[in-house]
Homo-oligomer: A and B are copies of this chain.
Amino acid sequence: MGTREQIVDAANRLFYEQGFESTSFAAIAEAVGISRGNFYYHFKTKDEILQAVIEARLASTRKMLDAWADASADPLDRVRRFVGIVITNRGDIENYGCPVGTLTNELAKLGHPARAHAVGVFELFRTWLREQFEELGCETESDDIAMHVLAFSQGTAMLSNAFQDGDFVYREVDRIDTWLSGRLASRPSTDGAR
């Protein structure tokens, strides 16, 4: 990994664990173990690093969504991989919350111009989920269902972070799973032909 990638990687982690505002330029340089001079060669401002971090998150999210799509031909199975993130990442979530939601909210509070760019990560998830529900025959309601599943992930992450209660996370995953099964059983395509 090149120096630039190491900086972005360290900043990505620090922004998640400590927040964007409270992570200093110096802390990132220290985490990478490089001189100020070398650091400034790659990035002049913290906002430039933020932009690179958001780009990296967009790229890794696209990669993850593509991998989930490739891993199963069944869109419901793919959606379950998304739902399962709150279990897979529960350690980090208990400590720091959801990286997508918390950065977006911090940038909103800061009135930061990169806010819309950061919301792009949510948009990737939303679009991908919508596509799965379209494939499942949910038609015009696909986007509403996608947003509800996203809301599940955010609500679960926020309370998991506040209460650090693993059982709660499993209960919410079961609940959204049951809700999805019910929602899909009543979709237009199953009312008609079958």
Contact = CB atoms under 8 A, between A and B. Distances in A.
Interface of A: 17-19, 21-22, 95-98, 101-102, 104-106, 108-111, 119, 122, 144, 147-148, 150-156, 158-159, 161-163, 165, 168, 171-172, 175
Contacts of A165: 147
Contacts of A155: 150-156, 158
Q: State the number of copies, please.
A: 2
A110 B18 contact: yes
Instruction: List 7 tightest A-B contacts by C-beta distance, closest first.
Output: A155-B155, A151-B155, A154-B158, A154-B155, A19-B109, A97-B105, A101-B158
Contacts of A152: 151, 155
A119 to B, nearest CB: 5
A95 B108 CA distance: 7
A158 B159 contact: no
Given A147-B168, A148-B172, A151-B172, A108 B159 contact: no
Contacts of A172: 147-148, 151
A147 B153 CA distance: 14
